[in-house]
Amino acid sequence: MAQDSAISAVTGADLYKTPAANITNTLYGRLPGLTVLQGSGEPGYDGAAMITRGVGTYDNNNLIIYVDGFQVTAHYFQYLSPSEIASISVLKDAAALATFGMRGANGVLWVVTKRGQQSKPTIQFQVRSGIQQAINIDKPLGSYDYARLYNQAVSNDNYAVNGHQYLWSPKYSDAQLAAYKNGTGINVDWFDEVLKKNTPYTDANLIFSGGDSTAKYGVILDYMKDQGLYNVSNGASTSNAQIQRFNLRSNLDFNFFKIFEAKVDLGGRIEDRRYPNISGPALWSNLASYPSNIYNVKDASGNWSGTTIFPNNPVASVRALGWASTHDRTLQANFNLKEKFDFITPGLYLNEAVSFNTWTRNAASKAATYARFYNGTQTTTDKTTDIVASGTSPAGQYDWKQANLTAGYDHTFGVHAFSAGVNYFASNYIEDWNGDLNGSGYNTGNNINHHYTNLSGHVHYVFDKRYVAAFGFGYSGSDNFAPGHNKGFYPAVSAAWILSNEKFLQQNPVINLLKLRASVGKTGNEASNVGRYLYQQYYVSNGTFYTGNNSFTGNNGIAPPYIANPRIFAEHSVKYDVGVDADLFHKLNITADVYMDKRGGIITYDNNTYLATLGTSSMYRNVGKVTNKGLEMSVDFNDKIGRFGYNIGGMASYSKNRIDYQAEVKPVNDFSKTTGLAIGTSMGLVADGFYQMSDFNADGTLKAGLPVPAFGAVQPGDMKYKDLDKSGYIDQNDVTKIGNPAYPSLYYSFHAGVSYAGFDFQVFFQGAAGGDYNLIGSSAQTIAFINNANAYSIANGAWAYYPDQGIDTRNTATYPRLGTQANTNNYRNSTFWMKKNNFLRVRNIELGYSLPEIVLNKLHLSRCRIFVSATNPVTWSSLLKNYNLDPETPSGYPALKSYTSGLSLSFK
Amino acid sequence: MRLNIYLSILVALASSCSKDFLDTRIDTSQTDETIASNYTTLFSFGNAPYVYMRDGLITLDGNLFAAATDEAEQTAPSSLSMFFNQGSWNATTNPDNYYSSYYAGIRAANYFLERSAAYKTILGTSRDTISASEKINYHNDVQNIAWFRGEAHMLRAWYYFELCKRYGGVPLVTKVLSTSDNTNLPAAPYDSIISFIVSEVDTYKDSVQLNWKTSSFSNYDGRFTKGAALAVKARALLYAASPLHNPGGDITKWQKAAEAVHDVIALGQYSLDANYRTYFLLNNAVNSKETIYAIREPASNLEETLNYPIATSGGRSGVTPSQNLVADYEYTGAPDPANPYANRDPRLGYSVVTNGSTWNGRTINIATGGTDDMANTNSSKTGYYLKKFLNDGLNLIQGQTVVHTWVVFRYGEILLEYSEAMNEAYGPDNDNGYGLTARAAINMVRGRTGVNMPAVTTTTDFSAAVKHERRIELAFEDHRYWDLIRWKDAAVALNAPLQGVHSDYTVFNVENRVFDASKMYYYPFPQSEISKSGGVLKQNPNW
C-alpha cells in the first residue's frame, strides 16, 4: 500500500504525448524525484540517464526497473512503447524500497503495462509521423576565419624561437586568405555535407482490449521507425542511422474456480538497427575537428579525398564504408497465479509467479574501404574495395529467470485494516555481454551468472482510516560476495497520519486529503562499478620480459592485482523521509517531501592504510560514506468551468550530496581535498587572467616575484593561475574546487494546459540548474588548432598582439593566445573553463482536437482525436547562447527536436 | 495459524536453495587453488620480479632520461623533463616516481622466494617423475627454479640499489607484507641498504648461472647471471664510496668497491665490443661479449619515431644532445674552423648527429632555409640530433620496426668503474695485485677498436680524466645524472644553462637549468607516502 511511502506516478497516456523512439526521452520532468538527463539523439543509442533523488553514491548509481512485478534491464525498458504502459512510478523512500532489500538503495522504477478491462471489446489505433531536426549543431569557423586565426597561432608558436618576441610569421598568405573570402578557396562545411536537416519519425500502435468476469485481454501491437540525420539513403551498400522496432504485448487475466486468478503476460519485440560502418562517436569527432580547408570532398578526378593527417573523410565515412546492423530479439514472459483462500480466512491469499526474459543480439555488416587521394596521388595505403558481406555473428545475449512466491493476508476488522505478506524472490540471470548489470571484475566472457534472492515481508496497519503504521523488511542474498557473507537484513518502519479523516477535518470543504507521512529504513546496493567477487584473490599477468638473443621470447609474470577482501559486502543506505500530501478543493494537489540518505559501506579502494612497502595494490573495503539531502515538491491544479477546462502544475526537486569519507590520501593543502565536497566536484586551478608582456623579462623568463608555473614555459597571452599555497610555483598543490559537479542540483518542470469544446492544448517545460560545465570536456569545440583541430567562434576572442597587422586584444581577450602546439598550461581544468549550465527547455507542446459525439456516432467510433505536437522546440541556456553548445548534448550526435502530427481512433 | 505453516515452508525453501544458489563464481583467472595444482605457475611467479626492470630507452616522456640532465634537451613544447629542467618537481609531482613499482618488484621477489621454498615438492605434484625422459624434465625444472630463486635475490638487491640511489635510505622489506602487517616502516639508513645488497650478492652469487650464452640453456639469456650479480654489488659499493654518501672520504670504501669491480673483471667472461656505433643498435648488444646484462625490447620504431629529426617524415626530434656535452669530446688533431666536428673523438660521430653529417638519407643542414632549419617548429633547439641507440634509415611512414636493447651493465662501464675506484683507493698506477691498474683500465676503454683515443697520461688530474671518460663513453646511458649526484658536482653542472649551436657554430643558451643543491641530491619521497605515514617515514631534507 502506498499510503505511507513516497511514490510518484505518471500514466502511459501522458508519456505518449512526447513522440520519442526511446521511452526514457518521454520522462523528462514527469516524475518528481526522478532526474532524467538527455543523452545523444543517435537512433538506437538515445537513452537518457535516470537517477532518483540526486546522486547518492560515488559507486554504481543506477536505479533498477521492474515491469509487471519482475526486474528488467535498462535496455529492455528503453524500447518499450508508451502505448504498452499503463503507469510508471518511481519508488523513492525507505518505506517503498524496504522490500527490495539489497537492490533498492538507488530507487526503483515500477512499470505496469496495460491490462484488459471488464468491458465490451475495444480497438484503439494511433499513428503519428513527423520530422526531427537537431536542436543545435555547433559549427566551426569557415576557411577564411580559420586561416586568419591560424596565422596568429603559428606566429605565437614562434615566440621563443624569435628571441621571445611576437613577430608576424603567417602560414597563409594574403592571397590565400582572399581566395577563402571570395569563395574560390577550399571551404567545406562538413556538417552540411554529411547531415541533412530533416529526418522522419513514425510510430503506430493498435490495441485490442476487453473482457468479462472470466477472462480479460489486452493486446498491443506497436511499430516505430526512427531515422538519423545522415544524408545517405538506405540501400544495398549504404545506410542512414536507423532503428525499427516491432512490439507485441499480450496481457491476459483469467479467473476460474472462484479462487484462482491467473495472469499471462507476453511482451516481445524485435529491434533492427542499421548504421554507416563507422562508429558514431568517431564520425562526430571528425566532423567537429576536421578543418574546412583541408580538401574538397572529392578531388578533381572524382576520388575521395584524404591525407595522412586527416585520413577519414567524413562524407566518405558514411557513403563508402558500407553499413553495419544489429538485430535484437527480446521476450518477457510472465505467469502469475493467485489463490484466494477466503474460504479459510477472509483475506488470505497465496501468489506464485515466474518470469522468463530473454534477449539476444546478432550483428551483420557489409564493409568496404576507399582509397584516399590528394592532388591526384594516393596518400595512404588504403585501397578501394568492393562491398563485402560479413556473416551474422552473435553480439550478446541474456537469459533471465525469476520467481516470486507470496503469502499474504489482507483484511479489515471494523476500524482496523490489516495487511501483511511474506514474499520470496529468486533471480537467475545469465549473460554473455557485460552490459546492463555490473561488470564482472576478473570473470568475463560467456555464461556469466548473477544470482539473487530476497525474502521480504511487510505488515501494514491502518486504524480507523486515520493512523497508519507499517513495517517492512528485506533479507537479501547476492552472489557478488563471499558465501557466508552475502546476506543482509534491511528493515524499514513508517507511519502516516491522515488528518483529513479526523473528525475536525472530515467535513472540511477545502481540505479533501491531508496526510503527513514519515519513514526511515535501510536498503542496500549490491551492484558495484568496482567489480564482483572482490573476495576472491586472483593472480593476473603483471607484465612481460624478454629473453633470447636472435629472436626474443616473451615471459609473463603473474602477481595479484589487488589484495582480496573476504568480507566485502554491499553498501547500505539509511533513508529518512518526511512528507505531506494534500488535496484541496478537489482541484489542487500538493505533495512535498524532505529526505536524507546516508550511505555507508561504499566499496572504496583503501588508499590510506597501506604504504608502498606493501608492494601491491591494497584492498577494497566497505568504508565510503556519503550524505545526500534534498526536498521535492509538486503542485497540480486542474479545474473546469463549463466546457472550458484548464490545468497548471509543476514540480521541483533539489538535492545536494557530500562525500563524508572516501579513504582519500591527505593532499599537501587542505583546500585540495575532495572529501567534504559533492560527488564529482570539479577540481582545478584558480585562473587569474592572462600573462601580459610586462610580466616577462627580455629573455623570456618571468619577472622575479611572479610564481613560476610548473606545467610548462609560458609567454604573454597564456593563462595565469593563482599560487594558492604561496610556494612560488603553480603546480598540482594549488588545485582546489573550481565548480559544481556536472549534474544539476535543481531539477524542475511545469506545465499548463487548456481544453475547450473538443480542443485541448498542453505545454510542458523542463529545466535544470546548479550544474557546471567544463568547456574542456568538448575539447574539439573549445580548444583551437591543437592536434590539427578546427577552430570555433570562441577563438575569435583570443589574446594577440601584432600591432603591425592591426591586431591588439591584450585588454579585451576572452581566450588564451592561440597556438598549434600541445600546451599543458592553458588547457587544464581551471575556473576559466567552468561555465554555469542552467537551462530551460520547452519539452512538449501539443494541440489536439477530438471529434464531437455526433460525428463519432456516425463513424462508429468511440473516440477520434487528431493532434500536432512539437518536442524540444525552444531551449534557453547560457551555454547555448554564449558558446553554441547544447546544455545536455554539447558534443557528439545532438539531441533532437521534432514536429509531429497524429491521429488516435477508438472503434466501438 | 496456517499462515505460520506457509511461512515456514517458504523459509525452508528459501534457505535450502540459497546456499549453493548464491555461489556462482567461475574463475577465469588464476587463484590460489589453480596455482597450487599446477606446478608451471611457479615459473610465472619466477618471471614476475623481472617485469619491473626499467627500460632506459623509455623512462622519461617515453624517451631517454638524458633530457633531464645537461646532456640533452627535450624538443616537445610540453614534456615531463621540464619539471626537472625548471626545478619545479617536488614530492607531489615527480616525473620519475617509480617508488611503488620498485616495492612491487621487491614484493614479487619476496613472494616468489616464500612460495617456492618447497619447490622440489611443488614441482613434483601431479606429474610423472619416474620415467626416463620425464625424470630429466623434472630435474631440469628443479634446476631452473633454483636459478630463479637465486635471480630473485639478485633482482631484489638491484631494486634496493635503484631505490637508495634515488632516495638515500629507504624502508627495508625482506618478507612479504600482508594486510595485517605494519607497512608503515621507517627508512633504514643508506649504509644498511648497501650492506644488505652486498650480503645478498655474496650469498647467492653462485646460485645463478655464470653465463647463459655458453650454457645449455642459451635461450634463457636475459636472466641474471653471476656477472650481473657482481656488477650490481660493484656499482652499489662504488656509489656508497662516492662523496655524496661518503662525506668523510673513507678510503676503505673505495677499496671495497675496487675489489668488487675486480671480481667482475676476474670472471673473464667479458671483453670490449669492436664497434661502438653498432653495439647499441638492433640486438647486437645481446650477442656481444661486452654485455653483462641487457633488457630486450620487441620490434618497434618508438625510439626512432620520437628522435628522428622533425624534417624526416614521422620524426619528432625528441631528445637532442646539448652543446655542453658535444664541447667535451676531445680533439684528436688541430681544430678545423670550417667544421668543428672534424678531428674529434670518434664517439662524437657515433653518438650525435651534427650539422653537415649524413643521417636519414640526407645531409643535415640546420642553417636558415636548410632541410633542418632551426627556425622550423619542433626542430632541435640545440642544433644536434640523437644518434646513439637509433637505427638509421627506418621508414616510419610504412611502420618499419626493429628490435632494440637497453644495456644495464656492460664491460666498458665496469672498466671505468674499476678505474675510478682503483684511482681513489690506490692511485692511477697501483694495481694492488689485481693485475690491472686504473690507468690501464681507462686506456682499454679509450683504445677500443674504432675509437683509438690516445692514452691518459696525467697523474694529478686522473680523477677528472675518469669523470670525463664516463661522460663521453656512457653518454645517454642514464649514468650522467647519477654520476653528477654522487660526485656532488650537480650543483654546478645542472645549474649551468643548457647550450646549443647556431649554423655558424656560435654557442648560445637554449634555456636556464635549475638544480637546488639544498635538497635535490635526493629524491623526495612521494607526498602520498609522507601523508599516509604520519611522521614515521621522514621526508628527505628541505623537501
User: How large a percentage of chain A has pLDDT more than 90?
Assistant: 74
Q: In what order do the strands lie in the sheet with A85-91?
A: A7-11, A85-91, A108-113, A64-67, A70-72
DSSP string, A577-607: EEEEEEEETTTEEEEEEEEEEEEEEEEEE--
Average pLDDT over residues A755-767: 93
Q: What is the pLDDT of residue B86?
A: 87
List pLDDT tens digits, range A769-788. Answer: 999 999 998 888 999 999 88
- Using a CB-CB cut-off of 8 Å, the residues of chain B touching A348 are 2-3
Q: What is the pLDDT of residue B6?
A: 55
Q: Is the pLDDT of residue A245 over 70?
A: yes
- Using a CB-CB cut-off of 8 Å, the residues of chain B touching A668 are 91-92, 527, 531
Average pLDDT over residues A500-529: 90
**Count of A–B CB contacts within 8 Å?**
253
The nearest alpha carbon in chain A to B171 belongs to A613
CA–CA gap between residue B26 and residue B30 (Å, rounded)? 11
CA–CA gap between residue A894 and residue A877 (Å, rounded)? 15
User: Going by C-beta distance under 8 Å and a sequence separation of 6 or more, which residues neighbour residue B171?
Assistant: A611, A613, B185, B186, B187, B188, B537
CA–CA gap between residue A476 and residue A64 (Å, rounded)? 15
Does B52 touch chain A if contact means CB atoms closer than 8 Å?
A: yes
Does B106 touch chain A if contact means CB atoms closer than 8 Å?
A: yes
CA–CA gap between residue A547 and residue B294 (Å, rounded)? 10
How many alpha carbons lie under 13 Å from residue A508 in its C-beta half-sphere? 17
C-alpha cell belonging to residue A229: 540525420
Q: What is the pLDDT of residue B4?
A: 61
Average per-residue pLDDT for chain A? 91
C-alpha cell belonging to residue A513: 486529503
Beta bridge partner(s), residue A123? A208, A907
Taking Cα atoms as reference points, which of A29, A80, A71, A19 lies closest to residue A50? A29
Q: Which helix (H) or strand (E) holds A182?
A: helix A174-182
Q: Flag if B78 and A668 touch (Cβ within 8 Å).
A: no
- Using a CB-CB cut-off of 8 Å, the residues of chain B touching A619 are 179
pLDDT tens for the 543 residues of chain B, in order: 555 665 555 555 555 554 588 888 877 788 888 887 788 888 999 999 999 999 999 999 999 999 999 999 999 878 899 899 988 899 999 999 999 999 999 999 999 999 899 888 888 887 888 898 889 989 989 999 999 999 999 999 999 999 999 999 999 999 999 888 999 999 999 999 999 999 999 999 999 999 898 888 888 999 999 999 999 999 999 999 999 999 998 999 999 999 999 999 999 999 999 999 999 999 999 999 999 999 999 999 999 999 999 888 888 899 999 999 999 999 998 988 888 999 999 999 999 999 999 999 999 999 988 888 888 878 899 999 999 999 998 988 888 999 999 999 999 999 999 999 999 999 999 988 999 999 999 999 999 999 999 998 888 899 999 999 999 999 999 999 999 999 999 999 999 999 999 989 999 988 889 999 999 999 999 999 999 998 999 999 999
Q: Is the pLDDT of residue A436 over 50?
A: no
Q: Which helix (H) or strand (E) holds A123?
A: strand A119-134
User: Going by C-beta distance under 8 Å and a sequence separation of 6 or more, which residues neighbour residue A458?
Assistant: A98, A99, A419, A420, A421, A470, A471, A472, A473
Q: Flag if B222 and A547 touch (Cβ within 8 Å).
A: yes
C-alpha cell belonging to residue A870: 512539437
Distances (CA, A) of A156 to A150, A161, A692, A811, A819: 10, 10, 14, 17, 6
Average pLDDT over residues A236-263: 93
User: Going by C-beta distance under 8 Å and a sequence separation of 6 or more, which residues neighbour residue B182?
Assistant: none
> What is the identity of the amino acid at A19?
P
3-class DSSP state for residue A819? coil
Q: Is the pLDDT of residue A441 over 80?
A: no
Which residues 498-537 in chain B show a CB within 8 A of chain A? 512, 526-529, 531-533, 537
Does B221 touch chain A if contact means CB atoms closer than 8 Å?
A: yes
Q: Flag if A424 and B53 touch (Cβ within 8 Å).
A: no
- Using a CB-CB cut-off of 8 Å, the residues of chain A touching B22 are 451-453, 477-479, 483, 486
C-alpha cell belonging to residue A346: 477472509
Q: What is the pLDDT of residue A435?
A: 46
Indicate the residue of A539, A665, A701 with minimum beta-carbon distance to B30: A539
Q: Which helix (H) or strand (E) holds A166?
A: none
List pLDDT tens digits, range A589-639. Answer: 999 999 999 999 999 999 888 999 999 988 999 999 999 999 999 999 999
The CA-based dihedral angle spanning residues B264, B265, B267, B273, taken in that order and rounded to the nearest 10 degrees: 110
- Using a CB-CB cut-off of 8 Å, the residues of chain B touching A547 are 219-223, 296
Q: What is the pLDDT of residue A440?
A: 43
Indicate the residue of A453, A545, A557 with minimum beta-carbon distance to B14: A453
Q: Flag if B77 and A308 touch (Cβ within 8 Å).
A: no
Please count the residues of chain A. Answer: 908
Does B131 touch chain A if contact means CB atoms closer than 8 Å?
A: no
CA–CA gap between residue A662 and residue A817 (Å, rounded)? 39
C-alpha cell belonging to residue B89: 618537481
Better-scored residue on pLDDT, B78 or A290: A290
Confidence grade of residue A437 (pLDDT, cut at 50, 70, 90): very low
Count other C-beta atoms under 10 Å from residue A736's C-beta: 22
The nearest alpha carbon in chain A to B41 belongs to A558
3-state helix, strand, coil in chain B (%, to 5): 45, 10, 45
Please check whether residue B167 is in contact with residue B523, taking contact to mean a CB–CB distance below 8 angstroms.
yes
The nearest alpha carbon in chain B to A610 belongs to B183
CA–CA gap between residue A791 and residue A818 (Å, rounded)? 10
3-class DSSP state for residue B68? helix
Q: What is the pLDDT of residue A288?
A: 94
CA–CA gap between residue A64 and residue A241 (Å, rounded)? 29
Which of the 8 DSSP states describes residue A788?
T
DSSP string, A472-498: EEEEEEETTS-TTS-EEEEEEEEEEEE
Indicate the residue of B30, B378, B527 with minimum beta-carbon distance to A558: B30
Pairing assessment for the beta strands A199-211 and A215-227 based on DSSP bridges: antiparallel
DSSP string, A394-461: EEEEEEEEEEEEEEEEEEEETTEEEEEEEEEEEEEEEESSS-SSPP-TT--SS-EEEEEEEEEEEEEE
Q: What is the pLDDT of residue A433?
A: 61
- Using a CB-CB cut-off of 8 Å, the residues of chain B touching A675 are none
- Using a CB-CB cut-off of 8 Å, the residues of chain A touching B219 are 547-549, 553
List pLDDT tens digits, range A23-71. Answer: 999 999 999 999 999 998 999 999 999 999 999 999 999 999 999 999 9
Pairing assessment for the beta strands A119-134 and A108-113 based on DSSP bridges: unpaired
Q: What is the pLDDT of residue B14?
A: 53
Taking Cα atoms as reference points, which of B99, B157, B54 lies closest to residue B408? B54
Does B188 touch chain A if contact means CB atoms closer than 8 Å?
A: no
Average pLDDT over residues A638-665: 93
Please check whether residue B117 is in contact with residue B110, taking contact to mean a CB–CB distance below 8 angstroms.
no
CA–CA gap between residue B86 and residue B515 (Å, rounded)? 8
Q: Flag if A613 and B173 touch (Cβ within 8 Å).
A: yes
CA–CA gap between residue A42 and residue A27 (Å, rounded)? 18
Q: Which of A377-386, A440-449, A842-851, B102-111 has the lowest mean pLDDT?
A: A440-449
The nearest alpha carbon in chain A to B398 belongs to A381
Q: Flag if A483 and B19 touch (Cβ within 8 Å).
A: yes
CA–CA gap between residue A825 and residue A52 (Å, rounded)? 38
Q: Flag if B86 and A708 touch (Cβ within 8 Å).
A: yes
Indicate the residue of A422, A559, A729 with minimum beta-carbon distance to B7: A422
User: Going by C-beta distance under 8 Å and a sequence separation of 6 or more, which residues neighbour residue A738?
Assistant: A682, A683, A684, A685, A686, A829, A830, A831, A834
> What is the identity of the amino acid at B193?
I
User: Going by C-beta distance under 8 Å and a sequence separation of 6 or more, which residues neighbour residue A692?
Assistant: A716, A810
CA–CA gap between residue A861 and residue B123 (Å, rounded)? 85
Beta bridge partner(s), residue B409? B293
Better-scored residue on pLDDT, A508 or B439: B439
Please check whether residue A716 is in contact with residue A703, taking contact to mean a CB–CB distance below 8 angstroms.
no
Per residue in B463-500, is it b (16+ CB within 10 Å) or e — as a string? Answer: bebbbbbbbbbbbbbbbbbbbbbbbeebeebbeeebbb
Considering the entire predicted model, what is its pTM? Answer: 0.90
Q: Flag if A443 and B28 touch (Cβ within 8 Å).
A: yes
Please check whether residue B391 is in contact with residue B284, taking contact to mean a CB–CB distance below 8 angstroms.
no
CA–CA gap between residue A853 and residue A872 (Å, rounded)? 33
Q: Is the pLDDT of residue A443 over 80?
A: no
Q: Flag if A611 and B78 touch (Cβ within 8 Å).
A: no
Confidence grade of residue A838 (pLDDT, cut at 50, 70, 90): very high
Q: Which helix (H) or strand (E) holds A875?
A: strand A861-877
Chain B closest-CA separation from residue A557 CA (Å): 4
> What is the identity of the amino acid at A553?
T
Q: Is the pLDDT of residue A112 over 90?
A: yes
Q: Which residue has the cell 477530438?
A: A850
Taking Cα atoms as reference points, which of B231, B216, B219 lies closest to residue B270? B231
